[in-house]
């Protein structure tokens, strides 16, 4: 059973932690929320000690009061189950339910996220508190959704994990014989004769078995999903209720297989924090939003972002209000049903005292809060975009990029030909090139229906199973244009090399046979015959059964193929054996898109600093124009700008740092002129 997530309006607000404040502050919170147009808060995240002060004894009087106050002010809420932060009593009662690090250190409370996901005592306590909250608040009319836990991701290597891992392995491999073969345990005398001999990948003398390490990642994702599902089932068992989600985390959290998880959520939501204060942050917003929309397969929700700060190494860089607004619109343009933040009010103490918030320490008389008020009013003007189109597809893309949790986990194996090849970096580089080309992008999982995409990118995918090979082959033969990056297909799903030349199972489809990986030194680079610059990685291949698009020009590879394209059926399969720099990748991608007729969302905007995204809605399409550049532009075409409430003919001016959201006339074409 799933509960549809269909808010009639864009949600705006953030994590709200009234338990950290005296009640006088609650009254001010309500007044300020009204002033800012906040319509949704998330309560209860990490509130376990306040809800269940002693094991099995609940005290939710304060939470009743918070809910009543929100209700009186017509503010909706997501209710979190507090299970990401077990209180001190829990550790004392169940020391075995604390997580254990690979080196055997057992963690203790004093921070957050101290739980061993497989410990029966933890699972039982989590179910109990979820059930308590569900029975008390599940039918509340202002409950917008359940926010189960927070950012699942604490990995445990202790005895409970070992037991659960063995159970999981037995299910996956069936027999010890199959496991020994899959893990290639003949290497270094690792053969297992008894399931009880198998451990999580704990601290050991040298390198781990890579198949064991990847299986453990898969297990952890499944185990956390099982824990989530138990809470979800408790909530549902308490009666009809609101949609259920848990917040995924971007950009570096790689503990979950989000595709598999999304199938179990009523709503996909994400926390997204920029990892650079520079202009590349705009591409990062697009990446996070495209990824989450794709996981969700339709409307989704930005559950957390930062109101005014960007963590940049040791410093908290300032995120200016105009950027905060443009970023928020960037998520909404790509299907988020609103913009929520961590957090409403900056904490006066505790571990995240210096994290930014919608109401900063300085209070409402601040640039940050003024920006928040402006965003609230703006989202209120945009309510009509919230209604999704009948087919649910909020963005129309001709290009897709494969995103695969296994792909990331495999590439974490140490001692590869070049350990600098990083999965998330490669996927982001491809997405960045597409973003710079101004085209709309979807992410897809293996096996997805990809017939609608003209071009499908597989930036790198070390381990490939035979179903994936068949899926890619069908895509190409049916007329798709596949672009495969280096070090793809070299291994099977158990990280075992496919012998006979790389890229293993993809040799036939790509028409190449690579005999040697030739990684470059960190300061080394070389040119290809088409002028591209290559770093990090090159490969030696036989004369291909494919057209050669570019050759290496230096060293022992001089003259040998670097980029190839094979026609197969009605489509093509391109192989890029070299590590292109971002600029070269940008050029390569732009040329490829032009060749296959993939057009930017707004061709005139490319190169002006204006990012254009088209969001589909029930009543038509909306063109979001976000100006990250430094010279104002005039945009003209048939439509109506919802921001300025003005017609877009004969034209509107979008200033540097500004934005417009245009309800377009059907089939509208647009001109963009830099002023």
Contact residues toward ligand GAL (CB under 6 A) are: 150-151, 249, 271, 273, 304, 342, 352, 355
- How many whole angstroms separate alpha carbon 516 and alpha carbon 464? 19
CB of 306 to ligand GAL, least distance (A): 6
Nearer Cβ to ligand GAL, position 19 or 508? 19
- How many whole angstroms separate alpha carbon 528 and alpha carbon 48? 58
What's phi and psi for 670, nearest 5 deg? Answer: -130, 145
CB of 474 to ligand GAL, least distance (A): 39
CB of 151 to ligand GAL, least distance (A): 5
Nearer Cβ to ligand GAL, position 15 or 215? 15
Helices (H), 547-671: 582-595
Run of H or E residues at 226:
helix 210-237
Q: Name the token pair of 426.
A: 């490669």
CB of 355 to ligand GAL, least distance (A): 5
Nearer Cβ to ligand GAL, position 355 or 565? 355
- How many whole angstroms separate alpha carbon 632 and alpha carbon 675? 6
- How many whole angstroms separate alpha carbon 531 and alpha carbon 527? 6
Nearer Cβ to ligand GAL, position 113 or 539? 113
| E-strand stretches of 69-202 | 76-80, 143-147
Neighbours of 645 (CB within 10 A): 8
Q: Name the token pair of 219.
A: 């297990």
CB of 78 to ligand GAL, least distance (A): 13
CB 575 within 8 A of CB 558: no
447 exposed, middle or buried (CB, 10 Å; 0-12, 13-18, 19+)? exposed
What's phi and psi for 593, nearest 5 deg? Answer: -65, -45
Nearer Cβ to ligand GAL, position 177 or 352? 352
Q: First vs last Cα of the chain: how many Å apart?
A: 54
- How many whole angstroms separate alpha carbon 30 and alpha carbon 36? 10
Question: How many residues belong to the chain?
Answer: 675
Would you list the DSSP string of 39-59? Answer: -EEEE-TT-HHHH-SBTTB--
Query: In the bound complex, which residue of the shown chain has the CB atom lying closest to ligand GAL?
Result: 342
Q: Name the token pair of 526.
A: 């070389």
Q: Choosing from 52, 151, 223, 426, which is the catalytic residue?
A: 151
Active-site annotation holds for 234: no
CB of 424 to ligand GAL, least distance (A): 17
- The CA-based angle 536-538-541, given to 5 degrees, is 165
Q: Name the token pair of 660.
A: 């417009």
Nearer Cβ to ligand GAL, position 45 or 402? 45
Nearer Cβ to ligand GAL, position 248 or 588? 248
What angle in degrees, to the nearest 10, is found between the helix axes of 280-296 and 423-436?
A: 100
Active-site annotation holds for 170: no
Nearer Cβ to ligand GAL, position 165 or 342? 342
CB of 454 to ligand GAL, least distance (A): 36
CB of 84 to ligand GAL, least distance (A): 8
CB of 67 to ligand GAL, least distance (A): 20
CB of 244 to ligand GAL, least distance (A): 17
Q: Choosing from 223, 234, 304, 611, which is the catalytic residue?
A: 304
Nearer Cβ to ligand GAL, position 232 or 355? 355
Would you state the torsion angle of the CA atoms of residues 170, 175, 176, 177, taken in this order, to the nearest 10 degrees? -150
Nearer Cβ to ligand GAL, position 220 or 310? 310
Give 637's contacts (C-beta < 8 A, 6+ positions apart): 648, 649, 662, 664, 665, 668, 669, 670, 671
592 exposed, middle or buried (CB, 10 Å; 0-12, 13-18, 19+)? buried
CB 350 within 8 A of CB 313: no
CB 611 within 8 A of CB 546: no
- CA 166 centroid distance within chain: 29
CB 170 within 8 A of CB 196: no
CB of 271 to ligand GAL, least distance (A): 5
Nearer Cβ to ligand GAL, position 352 or 542? 352
**Dmax (CA) of the chain:** 78
Q: Residue with structure tokens 């950012």?
A: 151
3-state helix, strand, coil in the chain (%, to 5): 35, 25, 45
What's phi and psi for 266, nearest 5 deg? Answer: -75, -25
Nearer Cβ to ligand GAL, position 149 or 627? 149
CB of 150 to ligand GAL, least distance (A): 5
Q: Name the token pair of 162.
A: 């070992």
- CA 199 centroid distance within chain: 30
CB 440 within 8 A of CB 398: yes
Instruction: Give the DSSP letter of residue 483.
Output: E
Catalytic residue ranges: 151, 304
């Amino acid at each position: 059973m799933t509960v549809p997530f269909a808010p009639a309006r864009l949600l705006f607000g953030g994590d709200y932690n009234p338990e950290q404040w005296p009640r006088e502050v609650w009254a001010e919170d309500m007044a300020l929320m009204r002033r800012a147009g906040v319509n949704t808060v998330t309560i209860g995240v990490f509130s376990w000690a306040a809800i269940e002060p002693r094991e099995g004894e609940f005290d939710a009087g304060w939470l009743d009061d918070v809910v009543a106050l929100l209700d009186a002010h017509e503010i909706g809420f997501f209710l979190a189950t507090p299970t990401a932060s077990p209180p001190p009593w829990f550790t004392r009662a169940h020391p075995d339910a604390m997580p254990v690090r690979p080196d055997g250190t057992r963690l203790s409370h004093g921070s957050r996220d101290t739980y061993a996901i497989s410990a029966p005592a933890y699972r039982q306590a989590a179910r109990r508190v979820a059930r308590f909250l569900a029975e008390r608040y599940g039918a509340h009319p202002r409950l917008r959704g359940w926010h189960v836990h927070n950012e699942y991701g604490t990995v445990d290597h202790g005895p409970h994990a070992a037991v659960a891992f063995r159970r999981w392995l037995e299910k996956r491999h069936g027999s010890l014989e199959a496991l020994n073969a899959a893990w290639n345990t003949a290497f270094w005398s690792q053969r297992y004769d008894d399931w009880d001999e198998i451990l999580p990948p704990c601290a050991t003398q040298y390198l781990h078995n890579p198949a064991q390490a990847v299986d453990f990642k898969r297990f952890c994702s499944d185990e956390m999903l099982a824990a989530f599902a138990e809470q979800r089932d408790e909530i549902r068992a308490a009666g009809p209720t609101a949609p259920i989600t848990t917040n995924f985390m971007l950009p570096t959290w790689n503990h979950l297989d989000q595709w598999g998880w999304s199938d179990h959520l009523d709503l996909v939501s994400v926390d997204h924090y920029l990892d650079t204060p520079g202009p590349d942050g705009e591409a990062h917003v697009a990446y996070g939003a495209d990824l989450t929309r794709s996981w969700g397969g339709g409307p989704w929700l930005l559950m957390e972002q930062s109101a005014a700060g960007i963590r940049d190494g040791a410093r908290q860089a300032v995120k200016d209000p105009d950027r905060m607004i443009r970023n928020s619109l960037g998520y909404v343009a790509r299907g988020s049903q609103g913009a929520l933040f961590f957090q409403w009010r900056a904490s006066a103490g505790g571990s995240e005292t210096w994290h930014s918030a919608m109401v900063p320490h300085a209070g409402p008389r601040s640039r940050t809060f003024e920006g928040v008020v402006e965003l609230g009013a703006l989202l209120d003007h945009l309510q009509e975009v919230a209604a999704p189109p009948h087919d649910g597809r909020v963005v129309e893309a001709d290009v897709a990029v494969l995103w695969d949790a296994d792909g990331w986990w495999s590439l974490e194996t140490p001692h590869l030909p070049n350990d600098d090849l990083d999965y998330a970096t490669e996927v982001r580089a491809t997405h960045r090139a597409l973003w710079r080309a101004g085209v709309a992008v979807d992410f897809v999982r293996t096996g997805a229906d990809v017939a609608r995409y003209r071009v499908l990118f597989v930036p790198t995918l070390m381990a490939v199973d035979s179903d994936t090979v068949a899926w890619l082959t069908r895509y190409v033969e049916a007329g798709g244009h596949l672009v495969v990056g280096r070090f793809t297909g070299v291994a099977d799903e158990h990280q075992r090399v496919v012998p006979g030349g790389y890229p293993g199972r993809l040799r036939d489809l790509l028409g190449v046979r690579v005999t040697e990986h030739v990684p470059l030194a960190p300061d080394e680079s070389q040119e290809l015959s088409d002028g591209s610059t290559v770093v990090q990685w090159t490969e030696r291949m036989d004369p291909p059964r494919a057209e050669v698009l570019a050759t290496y020009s230096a060293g022992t590879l001089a003259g040998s193929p670097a980029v190839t394209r094979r026609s197969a059926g009605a489509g093509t399969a391109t192989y890029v054996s070299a590590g292109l720099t971002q600029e070269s990748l940008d050029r390569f991608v732009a040329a490829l898109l032009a060749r296959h007729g993939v057009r930017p969302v707004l061709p005139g905007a490319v190169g002006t600093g204006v990012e254009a995204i088209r969001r589909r809605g029930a009543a038509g399409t909306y063109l979001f124009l976000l100006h990250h550049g430094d010279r104002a532009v005039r945009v003209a075409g048939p439509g109506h700008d919802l921001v300025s409430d003005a017609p877009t003919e004969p034209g509107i001016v979008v200033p540097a740092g500004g934005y417009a959201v245009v309800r377009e006339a059907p089939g509208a074409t647009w001109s963009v002129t830099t002023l």
